[in-house]
Amino acid sequence: MPSSYPLGNTIRLTAHFAYPDTGVAFDPDTVTIRVRNPNFEVTKPVALRDSQGYYHCDVVGDVAGVWYWRVDSTNPVSGGERSFTVVESKFPNAP
């Protein structure tokens, strides 16, 4: 996943859950994703299951700046945080 995206793009956030000792994917009981935009507004988009152990959600990068997101799960409990940057185009009115 790139670390920067043009303003207004839809950004797919992905999460993968696997046992560290075997690498076998598993589905936790719950998956929660929280996203914080540069204006400190936090949303909780729905985590969609793609296949066993793989989840995603889509967010629109409608504010320029650094965005942070966190994924948490229960049974087993785990979590992690990442970030990405939304940048304004250097070409005004670009399609």
pLDDT, one tens digit per residue, over 4-25 is 999 999 999 999 999 989 999 9
pLDDT means over runs of 10, the chain (95 residues)? 86 94 94 97 97 97 97 87 93 69
- Structure-token pair, residue 5: 């995206």
Contact 65, 85 (CB under 8 A): yes
Q: Please state the three-class secondary structure of 47-86 as a single string.
A: CEEEECCEEEEEEECCCCEEEEEEEEEECCCEEEEEEEEE
- Structure-token pair, residue 73: 């799960």
* Residue 76: predicted pLDDT: 77
* Residue 33: predicted pLDDT: 97
* Residue 77: predicted pLDDT: 80
- Average pLDDT, rounded, for the chain: 92
